Structure 1
Amino acid sequence: MKWIGAVFILFATSWFGFYFAKQLTDRTKQIRAWKLTLQSLEAEIMYSQLPLQDACRRIADQMNGRLREFLLHFSDVLANGAESTKLAWMECLEHYKKNVSLKQKDLEILMQFGETLGMHDKHSQQKQIVLALRHLEREEQEALENHQKYDRMAKTLGVLTGLLLIILLI
């Protein structure tokens, strides 16, 4: 019976370590996806001159996962006569942030971008997108450094914590 408990403890602590490591990896991937999305949005604004809701729907067709859901939801909110683009963006971002690995400062960059979305001409909007991209680039570098520093450590610490608990309990 002790061995079954020991295996369960080792599994649980190892899972926690691997989960933490996956969060580090996912944050980097999600920031990259946002950068790609903003670059696509910039291209749509500058060259196709589609309405924002159509541009978001077109970009969503190229994406997958939670970001696709965000863009489709944002497009739907705009199509249904949102009070303002800013409020639609904030509402959709509130739904989006529940199940992602982004940190609060990553989300703040996106919120600040949403504050200016649709309020300027296309050249000023392009400058806002470039500014958001620069901020996301900085966050991506930090996320990548954290991933490189802590990924292996988190996995190892999870396994070693389980072994320590097993030794102390047996």
Structure 2
Amino acid sequence: MLKMLGAALVILAATLVGWLKARQFASRPNQIRGLILALKRLETEIMYGFTPLPDALQRIANQNKEPIRSLFTVAAGHMNPPNNWTAQDSLQHAVESQWGFTSMKKPEKDIMNQLSYTLGTSDRQDQIGHIVTAIRQLESEEVAARDEQSRYEKMCKSLGLLSGAFVVILFY
């Protein structure tokens, strides 16, 4: 009886690991889409709103769900007193400190870091151009993430269950 309970727990744990990995594959494209929409809102704020950058970042944070919200909240928070960091420093810090809470990978992180170098350092038109470039790059990453999702999501679910069954078979 105890062996059966242990076997069931091993299979359950391995299945849950597979499902968690599959959820990462499923949430990555959605988070990239959320980041794209947030950058489009930032583009609108810069172009038409004439909103100071910290206020624009905070507005965008308020309009998004986690983990995108915390990314922009941290960036906006460090640009305000008492820190008064530059847009580059605050966005890079936000990316470094909050990226682990997302399902996004290094290419998206590199795009955001690249955007941070130009944000707040030039005129409106130049900033809009850099944001549009980042959006285009993120859109291509979203296509790749959707492809990965369709390819690996079901496999991870199945592999979790099968690996749990394999471990149980090995122990018997």
TM-score w.r.t. length of structure 2: 0.95
Cα distance in 1 for partners of 2:28, 2:85 equals 31
Distance 1:34 1:145 in 2: 18
**Alignment match, 1:71:** 72
Equivalent residue for 2:132? Answer: 130
1:51 corresponding residue in structure 2:
52
Aligned residues: 170
Q: Which residue of 2 aligns with 1:89?
A: 91
Q: Which residue in 2 is equivalent to 1:21?
A: 22
Q: Runs of 4+ in structure 1 displaced over 3 angstroms?
A: none
Q: State the one-letter code of the partner of 1:20.
A: K
Query: Could you tell me whether the CA contact under 8 Å between 2:115 and 2:130 is conserved in 1?
Result: yes
Report percent identity of matched pairs.
Answer: 33
Superposition TM-score, scaled by structure 1 size: 0.96
Partners of 1:107 and 1:125 lie apart in 2 by: 18
Provide the alpha-carbon RMSD of the alignment.
1.1
Shift of 1:101: 1.1
Secondary structure at the aligned position of 2:67 is classed as: helix
Query: 2:28 is matched by which residue type in structure 1?
Result: R
- Distance, in Å, in 2 between the alignment partners of 1:129 and 1:138 is 14
- Higher mean Cα deviation, 54-63 or 16-25? 54-63
**Aligned: 1:117 with 2:135:** no
Letter of the 2:13 partner, please give it: A
State the one-letter code of the partner of 2:118.
Answer: T
CA distance in 2: counterparts of 1:65 and 1:120, whole angstroms: 29
CA distance in 2, matches of 1:61, 1:106: 21
Structure-2 separation of matches of 1:98 and 1:116: 23
Q: Distance in 1 between matches of 2:90 and 2:60?
A: 17
